[in-house]
Amino acid sequence: QLQLQESGPGLVKPSETLSLTCTVSGGSIRRSSYFWGWIRQPPGKGLEWIGSISYSGSTYYNPSLKSRVTISVDTSKNQFSLNLRSVTAADTAVYYCARRPDIGAWFDPWGQGTLVTVSS
């Protein structure tokens, strides 16, 4: 059974870079039939897609975040990562990683999520 697990600092200072990693277990990230994505949810608010990456490294970003986001994949470690630059308090959120099939546009499964707080 495929499982995803987010990891990274829970506290980031304003103007710095938020970096998270998603480790995939129970299956290979190299499978060409999937994309791997990041979604976030500010406390008490709705869901926002950040971006997605294929196993080969093709990336797709939310236009509203594109200038600050980089998503990368490390197939040797079965991981993919998120970097969000120049963060502000508005970037405080639970960050989820998830898998998306290339034949569709739904996310399943999801990681449990990790709360990142932006504060000095």
Of 17 and 58, the one with the shorter C-beta distance to another protein is: 58
Spatial distance between the Cα atoms of 21 and 15, rounded to a whole number of angstroms: 20
Q: How far is the CB of 48 from another protein (least distance, A)?
A: 7
Q: Which residues bind another protein (CB under 8 A)?
A: 46-49, 52, 60, 62-63, 96, 98, 104-108, 110-113
The neighbouring-strand residues paired with 94 are 41, 115
Cα 29 → chain centroid: 14
CA distance to 18, 95, 109, 113, per residue, from 34 (Å): 25, 20, 12, 20
Nearer to another protein (CB atom), residue 90 or residue 105 = 105
- Residue placing its CB nearer to another protein in the complex, 3 or 17: 3
Single-letter amino acid, residue 117: T
Min dist CB 1 to another protein, Å, is 12
Q: How far is the CB of 14 from another protein (least distance, A)?
A: 26
Task: Specify the residue, 19 or 62, whose C-beta has the smaller distance to another protein.
Answer: 62
Q: Could you tell me the smallest distance in angstroms from the CB atom of residue 23 to another protein? A: 15
Tokens describing residue 76: 């040797």
**Distance in angstroms (rounded) separating the CA atoms of residues 94 and 108:** 17
